[in-house]
Chain A
Amino acid sequence: MLPIGVELYGAKPEKEGIMPRLLTLLSAAATLIGCSATHQGYLLKTDTGQRSTVIFHDNPTGKHGSVEAVLANGERCQGQFNTVPDQVTRNWEDPSDIEREDTQVGVAVFQCADSHVLKCDFSRAYEGNGSGHCLDNLGQKYGLNF
């Protein structure tokens, strides 16, 4: 999208109308949608080694989102996650300004069937992949990778 928009701007700068503006808006929207990534991974039950699937759906800001999982017994879980910055890259001219969150730590809580909840503490990279550990209200421990 972007190269076409740039080419149109370059070709007819004197007739800048609705089309180039529309293309710019569409490019911006596509970029924003592109940032809302999904990361698939797994939960590994510590005592039995049973593997379950887990998906993190990032919102466009890359700071929080929703989670879903299907446990090894078929139980479906849904919930939310949120993060805070861990290691960051700061603006060298204004150190109070965080330019990029290189790594984040976060918490995800899954609500499953029959008041079964699972809480995960995790750490993840800028690209969104990470790992952590989880504990549910039945006392079961899980490893998390995504």
Chain B
Amino acid sequence: MNTPKVLLWTGLVFSFAGCMGTQSGHLYNMKTGQASTIQMESPETSNGKVKGTLPDGVACEGQFSEISTENARKTTTVSPMLTENSVASVAVLNCGAGKVLQCTLARRQWREFSYGECQDQQGSQYSLVF
């Protein structure tokens, strides 16, 4: 196999591996101070799966989708700092027993997540840092 073909295959394999990767972030309950971990699947893409646990140990699962920063500011109750050169995503996680966590996330274009803010139906706020 010649060099260009090797490079092409290597690039394809690494691109695929990159898309299939996961990114871990720390989720902090800003009332109790407790922390837990959350994993984003395919974090460099426009949508993907999210799973993790709340600081009290309850397991959560959901999805994230990219939206405009303007819509993120309008439609979500908690929003992290977003700029015109950042990309916004929203994630909704089901955490069992009817508990839903809504998150707004910020990142660079085509890059992994940077940080986010979440809130549950009871109004408890959470901060996310990746």
Say whether A and B bind each other: yes
Is the beta-carbon distance between A98 and B85 smaller than 8 angstroms? yes
What DSSP secondary structure best describes chain B's contact surface? loop
Query: Which residues from B are CB-within-8-Å of A64?
Result: 114, 130
Digitize B42-81: 1 where CB-to-A-CB distance is under 8 Å, 0 elsewhere. Answer: 0000000000000000000000000000000000000011
Please measure, in the bound complex, the distance between the C-alpha atom of A105 and the C-alpha atom of B26, giving whole angstroms.
19
What DSSP secondary structure best describes chain A's contact surface? strand
Stretch at the interface among A32-40, A68-76, A107-115: A107-115
Please measure, in the bound complex, the distance between the C-alpha atom of A21 and the C-alpha atom of B33, giving whole angstroms.
50
| Contact pick for B127, options A106, A116, A119, CB 8 Å | A119
Query: Which residues from A are CB-within-8-Å of B130?
Result: 64, 80, 82
Query: Which residues from A are CB-within-8-Å of B86?
Result: 84-85, 105
Query: Which residues from A are CB-within-8-Å of B31?
Result: 137
Q: Verify if A99 is at the interface (C-beta below 8 Å from B).
A: no
Please measure, in the bound complex, the distance between the C-alpha atom of A64 and the C-alpha atom of B107, giving whole angstroms.
12
**Residue ranges of B at the interface with A (Cβ–Cβ < 8 Å):** 26, 28-35, 80-83, 85-86, 106-108, 114-115, 127, 129-130
